[in-house]
């Protein structure tokens, strides 16, 4: 999979982009476990992709649910047994 960020918010620590092979849009956020820091990618639709670039509050509401693991069904890559916590 090739994830290409198209929008990045450094202050709130998230990005939006497109997975090149599938054409899926995503929102990603950093997570960390005791060994490594990595990103989790949550599938979003094109309307959310556009909205989240313009409406930070809408993006943050979505990402808060991701950080709480309430939207795990949207994960593009399922986590392993040593899943990290959002940072």
Counting residues of the chain whose pLDDT is more than 90, the rounded percentage is: 83
- pLDDT of 16-44, one tens digit each? 999 999 999 999 999 998 888 999 999 99
Residue 79 is predicted with a pLDDT of: 83
Residue 69: helix, strand or coil by DSSP? coil
Mean pLDDT of the chain: 95
Residue 58 is predicted with a pLDDT of: 98
**How far apart are the C-alpha atoms of 70 and 64, rounded to whole Å?**
9
Residue 85 is predicted with a pLDDT of: 87
**How far apart are the C-alpha atoms of 51 and 64, rounded to whole Å?**
16
Q: Is the pTM of this model over 0.75?
A: yes
Residue 48: helix, strand or coil by DSSP? helix
C-alpha separations of 21 from 2, 18, 24, 68 in Å: 7, 9, 8, 28
Q: Provide the residue ranges of all domains of the chain, joining segments of one domain with +.
A: 3-78
């Amino acid at each position: 999979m090739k994830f290409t960020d198209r929008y990045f918010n450094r202050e709130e620590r998230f990005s939006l982009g497109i997975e090149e092979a599938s054409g899926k849009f995503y929102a990603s956020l950093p997570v960390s476990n005791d060994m490594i820091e990595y990103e989790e990618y949550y599938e979003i639709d094109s309307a959310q992709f556009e909205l989240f670039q313009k409406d930070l509050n809408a993006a943050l509401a979505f990402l808060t649910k991701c950080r709480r693991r309430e939207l795990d069904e949207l994960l593009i890559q399922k986590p392993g047994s040593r899943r990290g916590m959002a940072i």
